[in-house]
Each structure stands twice: as C-alpha cells, then as structure tokens.
Amino acid sequence: CSLSRSPKGFPKLKNDTFLRAARGEETEHTPVWCMRQAGRYLPEFRETRASQDFFATCRSPKLCCELTLQPLRRFPLDAAIIFSDILVVPQALGMEVVMIPGKGPTFTEPLKEVEDLLKLRQKVDVTAELGYVFQAITLTRHSLEGRVPLIGFSGAPWTLMSYMIEGGGSSTMAKAKSWLYQHPEASHQLLRLLADVIIDYLVGQVAAGAQALQLFESHAGHLGPEQFQDFSLPYIRDIAQAVKSKLKEEALPLVPMIIFAKDAHYALRDLAHAGYEVVGLDWTIRPQEARAQTGKDVTLQGNLDPCALYAPKEKIGELVKKMLEAFGTQRYIANLGHGLYPDMNPEHVGAFVEAVHAHSRHINKH
C-alpha cells in the first residue's frame, strides 16, 4: 500500500447505486447495507478474529480488509464499510482502551477530573496515529475490485467524550452528562479537540480511498434537545463543513456524508440542515414522519428494527415491503435502525438484502 495523500489507480466502480442514492439521483433499485455487517453473526468473522486481540485486529490492514469483504462474499450488499472501531480516536489522543470479553471496550484510565484533559495529546498527527486505518481503506478499496463503494466512518465528539469519561458502556451516561452540567467549558474544550481530530481523520480516509463517510452519534439519545443543541449539533455541523472545505483544498473527491444520531428524533430537522447528504434513522421513528421533518433535499437511511431479523424470512420480506412503501424507493438507502446483533442468523440478513432489491425493483416498475 502506498501511503501518499491520494493512492491512485483504484479499480473502476461497477455498482454506484449507493452513491447515486446518497446524492439524490435516481436508482433502479433501493441500495442496502447493514451497520455492523462485518461482525460476530458471521462464523467466518469469529474464526478470523478468534486468536486476535480486538484492537490488534483493528491495527492490521490485512485483517480489516478480510473482515470488510466477508459479508460481501455472502450477500449482494450495495456498500462495504471499513472494519474498524470508533474508539481508535480516543486511542489516538493517548488513552488506553482494551476489549474485555463479555464486557466490551474498557478504558483503563477514564477522564475523571477536568485536569485529566491535560493528559491528552493536544495535537494529533492522524497519519502517525491512525495510518493503519488509512492503509486498511486503501488495501480494501483495491481488493473490492470496484464491486461496491467503500464507506469510512468516525464516532462523533459527544459519543466519544461519553466513552472517555464513563470508561465504557453505560445505561445512563451520568458521569459524562454531569460534565456537561458541571464543567461546560471543559466539555467544549474536549469536544473541540475531538472534532479537530475527527475532521483530519475523515479527510485522511477519503485520501486513502473512502467513497462515503458516516458519522456515528450513537449516544445522542442520552441528551435532551437543549444539551444536543449545545454539545452535539454544533460539532456535527462543523465536522461536515470543515471536512468538505478541506477535501476541496486538497483536491480530493467530495464524497457524500451520512449523519446517524441514534434516538435523536427531536433533532431531525436540524440534522437535515447540518450539511450531510444523508440522515440515518433508528427504528423508533415512522418513515413518513422522518420524511416530513427532513424535507426533500436529503436522502434518508434506515430504519428496520434490527430485531425484525429474528422473524421468519417471509415476515422479514413483508416488513421490508412496508418500509419501502413508507419511505419511497428514491432518495432512500435501506439499512437497519442500528447494528446487527451477534446471535443473528446470516440467512435472515440475506433475506433482508434480497427483499430490499426485489421489492424496490417491483415498486419502481409499477
């Protein structure tokens, strides 16, 4: 892999349905991909990962490439998303994160006091710290042989901040939220630091070959509308704007960007005007309502309840048909409302993907 700012000579893209839908152009079928499509529900994934520490896997471009390609060997998905983790950004800031089986990602020393911010790297060279992700993207883009576009991603500042303070998952995010109420200035300082790293990181992903970008604000649902307005939305907006202007400056492709703020229905209108081509939706909102709030100028992505994949295959087909009728087949990317769960049956994932293609083609014809 060459690590110059823009590796050339990528294979020609054969299926650009996902990119066309993201840009609001007409498509023959509705494109579909799944969050966490490279994951533990696949036996081949578990086999590849078996002997490896999770973050060691993330740091191996070869393994990331293999894991990214696995679901595409099974299903006719319309996009690949690079195998990585949102917590590589706090690692780049100098924090230690380990994956504990049965518990999930755990920070050995979470941020406790405002003074702890001084321990973080204030200037991050993303190529030095996260170059392994860029290498994985370049290798995967070549290995895809133009089959489908490759999506790069990052966690959004508030979601990363909440992990860095909680030290892992939490049902209340009480520690992280207490910072927002007790230390608003320090919170903004941390969010700004994260946003700056994320901007460079996303631009670097495009330079490495990513053809679309998704920002995950997975913990948006822990904030009410006011805190979201103060501590999440401004950074989400800023990231879109800064990434686009840097891509222009560096003469890199202007790729479509997706914002996925889970459980943030109260903010859909704002998110539709935040500078992203696509707004991702979780399963707790009605498609018609989402369309009404976001208007005509953005593409929507989502929002089948992941647990619908536990239903019999015929039922999955019915649910997909209903979803497509509600969203419409255009300016729409089918997906789940969150990631696939580890105990899901791969055949049911296949049924979901095939139903999207079959029903959307049928609706488009008639």
What amino acid occupies position 136?
A
End-to-end CA distance of the chain: 47
- The contacts of residue 348 (CB under 8 Å, 6+ apart) are 309, 310, 311, 313, 316
**23, 85, 192, 266: the active-site residue:** 85
Q: Is 85 a catalytic residue?
A: yes
Q: How far apart are CA 276 and CA 292, in angstroms?
A: 17
**260: β partners:** 216, 280
What sign has the CA pseudo-torsion 18, 255, 65, 49? negative
**20, 36, 59, 291: the active-site residue:** 36
What amino acid occupies position 134?
F
**16, 41, 49, 291: the active-site residue:** 49
Q: Is 163 a catalytic residue?
A: yes
Distances (CA, A) of 202 to 83, 90, 127, 154, 338: 15, 15, 11, 7, 21
Q: Is 116 a catalytic residue?
A: no
Q: Is 40 a catalytic residue?
A: yes
Q: Is 36 a catalytic residue?
A: yes
**16, 41, 147, 163: the active-site residue:** 163
Q: How far apart are CA 233 and CA 217, in angstroms?
A: 10
- Whether the bond into 364 is cis, omega within 30 of 0: no
What amino acid occupies position 301?
Q
What amino acid occupies position 128?
A
Q: Any idea what the Cα angle at residue 177 is, between residues 175 and 181, rounded to 5°?
A: 115
**258: β partners:** 214, 278
Q: Which parts of 26-178 are beta strand (E)?
A: 80-81, 97-100, 104-107, 150-155
Q: How far apart are CA 57 and CA 50, in angstroms?
A: 10
**5, 40, 74, 192: the active-site residue:** 40
Q: Any idea what the Cα angle at residue 259 is, between residues 4 and 346, rounded to 5°?
A: 85
The DSSP result for 2-34, as a single string, is --SSS---PPPPS--HHHHHHTT---SS--B--
In the structure encoding, which two tokens stand for residue 77, read together? 């998905």
Catalytically annotated residues = 36, 40, 49, 85, 163
